[in-house]
Structure 1
Amino acid sequence: MTYKPALVFLALLAQAFFSLVLIIITVWGSLALHYQLTESRLLTYAAIGIWVLVALAALSTLWFTDLQHYRRAAFISFAILFAILLIWWHGIKPSLNRDWAPEVAQTVTAEYNGDMVRLDHIRDFDWRTEKDFTVNWKSADYDLSQIKSVDLFLSYWAGPAIAHTLVSFGFEDGRQVVFSAEIRKKRGQAFSEIGGFFKDFELAMIAAEESDIIYLRTNVRGEHVYRYHVDIEPEQARQLFRLYTDTANRLSKEAGFYNTLTANCTTVVFDMARILDPSIALDYRVLLSGYLPEYMFEKQLIVTAETNTQSMRLNADISQQAKGSREGYSQRIRTMAMPQAQAAE
């Protein structure tokens, strides 16, 4: 008899555990239906309604003793619907052929001849507003033996934890080319962090001029953008460039989904860190990319004379230098910002 309270507690714990699992599955299925059944909202709401009702029926049999004799039927029904949902979900494949938004209508491809590489579909838009711009895609040849610098840009738009990461390669002739792993939105589609978990976007590799892709963030969207000069050897820089172009060529032939957590702009940056230091382990600051500079500072992967991350961030802020036209943009954002007290005089 002394074991009865313990058995009751364990039974309640098991009920709570299975309830939590059922709720998580139900929420996941509802969001999957919401983001994928977009052609008819009536069909979407009906499918979500049926799914939730069956889940609630199964959940209620766990807690109400007068419904326990219905438990088998409720859980069999839920299991069947869940199996159908998983089969449907597995059948959703990424595509290369959609009505893409203009800024991701093309993705970069690369063709090598030794250290010489030709990039096609480099973006060089003239942005006046996010909806008013001049479209321009171009091709250019680069000599990887002439790479002289690698810069990491972080653009913040929604708090300190999440930032979009971009990597810019500088060449001896003064040119810069930026690589950015981005969501490939359909025309008129808006970005959603939650949708990024539910196959709502494909993944695209974009190569662009700094006066396009960085300018868009600093001067058009008004995001907070920081530039960090990466401590990297020439051979490592070439490896990193090839890593980006290999990814770009693959995505141009084999579509892949963007994932907010596992397939986004930071995953290639982590590969960059592994090139610089193969012993580097995955860190939460790689996933929460807004804190990536602190991580790279600790690993001594950033060129800076600063002794703490706070002053490093202050010097990396390019907001003041970015003001102005596209002409001379790359040179301006690499000049030292005027101290605030001096700027006010």
Structure 2
Amino acid sequence: MPRLSLPTLLTASARLLLLPVVAVATAWGGGALWFQLPGPAPLRELVIALWGTLALLLAIALCCPRMRRLRRWSLAGYLLALAALLGWWQTLTPRNDRDWAPDVARQLAFERHGSQVTLYNVRNFEWRATGGFTPHWETREYDLDQLRSVDMLVSYWMGPAIAHTLVSFGFSDGRYLTFSVEIRRERGEAFSTFGGFFRQFEVSLIAADERDIVRTRTNVRHEAVYLYRVGLSRPAMRQLLLAYLDTARALRSEPAFYNTLTSNCTTLVFDMLRPIVPGLPLDYRLLLSGYLPDYAYDLGGLDDSRSLETLRRLGHINARARASDIDGHAAADFSRAIRRGVPAADGTLIAPPAPGDPATAP
């Protein structure tokens, strides 16, 4: 048996270590081409097939020591193609002037004079069980001195680990203003988890009435929605609301791409909170947003006089949301109805439970 020298072994090991790098780069390139290359699907499929063939030739050459010439040429070709792909990728820029879907067509704007803020393009759509809606975009005024609460709503639509996070601000006059970081879809476009990795969508920051943005999840889409009162000081509440408004202003002037992993409904909120609550730790639950209530509970941000399981049970608002409807339309007291029996951060109840509410049973 021939003896292999150390340099030969090192060279062989380096070739094998390149294989996973090539695999990851090829998978990323295939996704980028599929979601962003203009033209019909057959054209995208052809380009992806050529890209995959080039990667396959390189993989074969890396695994076969005697294919030195093929290895040199395939590596050079692959690197040139990868460089071209990365150069094209950098030309993709987010925009605000596309033909947007109606529910994300407008962007939030505001004016502030001391504690008084005027918000433009607050969404208050009337959503129907059939999936249709009647659009309403409103101008609203709020007094920051009247800010009294912050609630986190977590809406589960794909298993226990994946959820959409909303943050709702309550005022002393009984009104609630809810913010939601979402994808900004073009007209006729559908959400894609994988597309969110490949610059398919811009980021949209929606400010809405709860009868719109919460009710459509509980009563129309039938997602499982949980509400938790968060323990923040009033100065921190004010800072967080202003951080949302600053983010909205930034997105109007400089649009940004949504990213399923790094720039989504949870990570952007975390970025806003870090300057307000110093020392917030990074945690895997920020990526698996279905576990965000566990994260907040462990940090002492929720009512600690009850177990997290009890908070989940009391905070499950779907039945109360459905019961509040009047002839298929949102009731005026929707926000109060969904909070009946839900604990505040200090252990008291936000609103008395409704008689016979199964969630409040001991």
Q: Normalised by the shorter chain, which TM-score bucket?
A: over 0.9
| 1:265 alignment partner, SS class | coil
Question: Partner residue of 1:311?
Answer: 310
CA contact (8 A) 1:125 1:212 kept: yes
Question: Aligned-pair RMSD on alpha carbons?
Answer: 2.1
How far has the Cα of 1:67 moved from its partner? 2.6
| 2:159 alignment partner, SS class | coil
Question: Partner residue of 2:166?
Answer: 166
How far has the Cα of 1:260 moved from its partner? 0.7
Q: Which has the higher helix share?
A: 1
The TM-score, its normalising length taken from structure 1, stands at 0.93
How far has the Cα of 1:268 moved from its partner? 3.1
CA contact (8 A) 2:313 2:359 kept: no
The TM-score, its normalising length taken from structure 2, stands at 0.89
Question: Partner residue of 2:54?
Answer: 54
CA contact (8 A) 1:130 1:221 kept: no
Distance in 2, Cα, partners of 1:6 & 1:66:
17
Distance in 2, Cα, partners of 1:9 & 1:162:
45
Question: Partner residue of 2:175?
Answer: 175
How far has the Cα of 1:272 moved from its partner? 5.0
Give me the identity figure in percent: 43
Tell whether 2:306 aligns with 1:301. Answer: no
CA contact (8 A) 2:239 2:276 kept: no
Question: Partner residue of 1:104?
Answer: 104
In the comparison of the two structures, how many residue pairs are matched? 342
- One-letter amino acid of the structure 1 residue matched with residue 34 of structure 2: H
Distance in 2, Cα, partners of 1:212 & 1:36:
32
Matches within 5 A, 1:248-327: 248-271=248-271, 273-275=273-275, 277-303=277-303, 305-306=305-306, 308-323=307-322, 324-325=324-325, 326-327=330-331
How far has the Cα of 1:129 moved from its partner? 3.5
Structure 2 alignment gaps of length 5 or more: 342-352
Out of 327, 337, 355, the position equivalent to 1:332 is: 337
CA contact (8 A) 2:151 2:168 kept: yes
| 1:312 alignment partner, SS class | helix
CA contact (8 A) 1:236 1:275 kept: no
Check 1:137–1:250 CA distance in 2 against 1; reply closer, same or farther (3 A cut): same
CA contact (8 A) 1:240 1:275 kept: no
CA contact (8 A) 2:314 2:360 kept: no
Check 1:8–1:65 CA distance in 2 against 1; reply closer, same or farther (3 A cut): closer
Structure 1 alignment gaps of length 5 or more: none
Question: Partner residue of 2:113?
Answer: 113
Check 1:192–1:213 CA distance in 2 against 1; reply closer, same or farther (3 A cut): same
Distance in 1, Cα, partners of 2:22 & 2:15:
10
Check 1:342–1:93 CA distance in 2 against 1; reply closer, same or farther (3 A cut): closer
CA contact (8 A) 1:244 1:268 kept: no
Q: Deviations over 1:279-318 (max 9, x none)?
A: 1211111111111111111111113531x22222111111
Question: Partner residue of 2:198?
Answer: 198
How far has the Cα of 1:53 moved from its partner? 1.1
Distance in 2, Cα, partners of 1:279 & 1:47:
47
